[in-house]
Amino acid sequence: MGVSENTTGLILAVASNAFIGSSFILKKKGLKRAGASGTRAGVGGYTYLLEPLWWVGMVTMILGEVANFVAYVYAPAVLVTPLGALSIIISAILAHFMLNERLPRMGVLGCVSCIVGSVVIVLHAPQEQPLNSVEEVWNLATQPAFLIYVAATISTVLALVLHFEPRFGQTNMLVYLGICSLMGSITVVSIKAIGIAIKLTLDGINQIAYPQTWLFLTVAAICVVTQLNYLNKALDTYNAAVVSPVYYVMFTTLTIVASAIMFKDWKGQDASSIASEICGFITVLTGTIILHSTRDQEPPPSRGTVTWYVRGDSFKNLDGEHLLNIHESEER
């Protein structure tokens, strides 16, 4: 008996998240090194592009994303996306050993919850609905319900970028991660459309000539570049062990919503299977929240220290009093 498409997608998703979880840590270490010798990414710097370790992490992430891309071709987003919990577990464990970011016992419980929830989702995941051309995908993408979702997503992203990022980007990671997650949900459905087009083309049904294929490719490229930019800012500004689970929760939730609206993943499933998937997803979310709540926040970047030396017996810095009293000498 041959391997089912869902099983193929499952194997690819697991491999993908192993790469992606490792890439978070490699990129974080690269960003730290780059920030020590130049302008940090969190404040608009790009010196990390000269750091080899960041590129190792980037290549690792690309390998993971390629495997993830192929996984979406074979399995529905409802199955593939929640398995991103595995990357959280891997990044949390590696952060403990490589970045000295503490993983307490409750964090281990969070990891176990993610695994249990993922298993429940895998056991009750729906079978992929067959699509025979990129035009069919385009028809799904131009449904009124999905167009409303896209319009709401673009409006929210523009508000976050233009209004909230300049004011709250350095103090609230939900700004950066909100942009990443919203764009990511559009990325996934675009990537799935591209994957279907490639798969059909390899099967002898040419989809390259359709303009919809190139439109999906353009949308995916724009979304991926935007995601990477703001994910770098989030990683450079906040604790990697906090960024990973929060990003996962937001990205997974929005992706499942987008996929359910566009592809109708749950169509044909009975109520018990859908309820089991939702319970599994909630279990995974609970695990990520536990991981988030048990990790230490990364301290804000140092502002530097300016020391004032007065008469050889006292000094102040910027964190102390801002007014120095200089006593006149008794000698006139």
Interval 302-308 mean pLDDT: 45
**Bridge partners for 316 per DSSP:** 308
Q: Give the C-alpha separation, 72 to 81, whole Å.
A: 9
Average pLDDT of the chain, as a whole number: 81
* CA dist., res. 170 & res. 112, Å (int): 31
pLDDT computed for residue 162 by the predictor: 94
Query: How far is Cα 11 from Cα 67, in angstroms, rounded to an integer?
Result: 9
The two three-digit tokens of residue 18, written as one number: 């192993």
Q: What are phi and psi of 253, to 5 degrees?
A: -60, -50
pLDDT range class, residue 2, cuts 50, 70, 90: low
User: What's the pLDDT tens digit per position in 227-273?
Assistant: 989 988 888 888 776 787 778 778 888 888 898 888 887 777 788 88
Q: What is the mean pLDDT of residues 196-210?
A: 87
Q: Residue 137: which residues within 8 A CB-CB, separation 6 or more?
A: 131, 192, 193, 196, 197, 212, 216
Query: Position of tokens 């990790």?
Result: 295
- For residue 254, give every residue at least 6 positions away whose Cβ sits within 8 Å of its Cβ, in sequence order, or none: 181, 182, 184, 185
Listed in order, strand segments (DSSP E) in 182-331 are 308-310, 314-316
In the predicted structure, residue 331 carries a pLDDT above the cut 70: no
Which of 95-109, 180-194, 316-330 is predicted with the least confidence, judged by mean pLDDT? 316-330
pLDDT at 325: 42
Which amino acid is present at 34? Answer: A
Instruction: Tell me the per-residue pLDDT of 12-46, one tens digit each, with 9 for 90 and over.
Output: 999 998 898 889 888 888 888 877 777 776 666 77
